[in-house]
Amino acid sequence: MLIQENYNLKIKNSFGLNVSTKYFCEVVSKTELKEVLEQFKNENILLLGGGSNILFTKNFDGCVLQYNQKGISKLDEDKDSILLEVFAGELWDDFISYCVENNFYGIENLSLIPGTVGAAPIQNIGAYGQELKDSFFAANGVYLEDFKERTFFKSGCNFDYRTSIFKHELKNKFLITSVVFRLMKSHQLNMHYGSIEQELKKMGKNNPTLSDIRNIVIKIRQEKLPDPKILGNCGSFFKNPEVEKKRFENISQSFPLVKGFPASENTVKIPAGWLIEQCGWKGKRIGNVGVHELQALVLVNYGGADGNEILQLAQKIKDDVYQKFEIQLEEEVNIV
């Protein structure tokens, strides 16, 4: 266990922002974690996963803590499914690769999402018709204040669109040390999402394999989203807003090309990227920051930006979308 002072977090956040923290510590076991929490009990603690969903607007006055224990183990199995415990430090896409190689179904559409397994439930990550909660069984972890251990089963996690109890009530209060997933040994592949269907038609595949779906999702993401190692970004910056059906009908009268997807019996989800694009922001650059030319949901750091520049850009986009559509966008990223 190594505790570093005045640590630069540039390589620890996918925006590539040049910020620092008073202390930085990476731990790989609950024993090390307990030692760190005791040592820094009077300091502010910030839990950091892969750094792919965070926007630093200033230096952090406290201890940034990464829990990087790795490992995947089988807890239970029957003829239809398998229960896997995955430690928090495993990279999310490495875990998906493991599942696809072993023909475990349920998370293949979430391929290439950056970050760690431990951070995934916080955001209830989702893409191409799947969400983490669909295969989630439980999360194990500890409270930072008293180090009491607890297991949260699915019903107690308050999962919703890009949110959970870990993102709100337990933010920086509870650290997830491992996640348990129930995955299927055979399953109906989720391949009816528009861009996946299009790729399958191009390939002429009527009966795709699990590996086919993973490869298609990776291809789509690589074509649409910039690599944070080359261009600083955190993927989707905003959530897709939900509006009541009547409100959507009114919008569609003024904007016939608006896209909408049923979110519930009474609400419709509108792609935030489409709204942003209609306001003229797609591909627009202001100084060191801008909106990606291929995906309007992605805000980018062209180099040398600070977090406040990105935050100011986000606010301008929100103002324009509200002025044009009377829809309030909400950030998906964690702003520090």
Question: Would you say 12 and 51 are in contact if contact means Cβ atoms under 8 Å apart?
Answer: yes
Active-site residue, selected from the candidate residues 90, 108, 309, 332:
332
Is residue 332 among the annotated active site residues? yes
Of 26, 178, 236, 309, which is the active-site residue?
236
Q: Strands of the chain (E only): list them.
A: 2-8, 20-27, 45-47, 54-55, 60-67, 72-77, 81-87, 126-127, 130-131, 136-143, 149-153, 174-184, 232-236, 242-244, 261-262, 267-269, 285-286, 289-291, 298-301, 334-335
8 Å CB contact between 244 and 266: yes
Q: Is 285 a residue of the active site? A: no
Q: 């990606």: which residue's tokens?
A: 292
Does the annotation count 162 as an active-site position? Answer: yes
Q: Is 184 helix (H, G, I), strand (E, B) or coil?
A: strand
9 neighbors 19 (Cβ within 8 angstroms): yes
Q: Which of 162, 182, 214, 221 is catalytic?
A: 162
Do residues 243 and 271 make contact, with C-beta atoms less than 8 angstroms apart? no
Are 198 and 205 contacting, i.e. CB atoms less than 8 angstroms apart?
no
- Active site members: 162, 236, 332
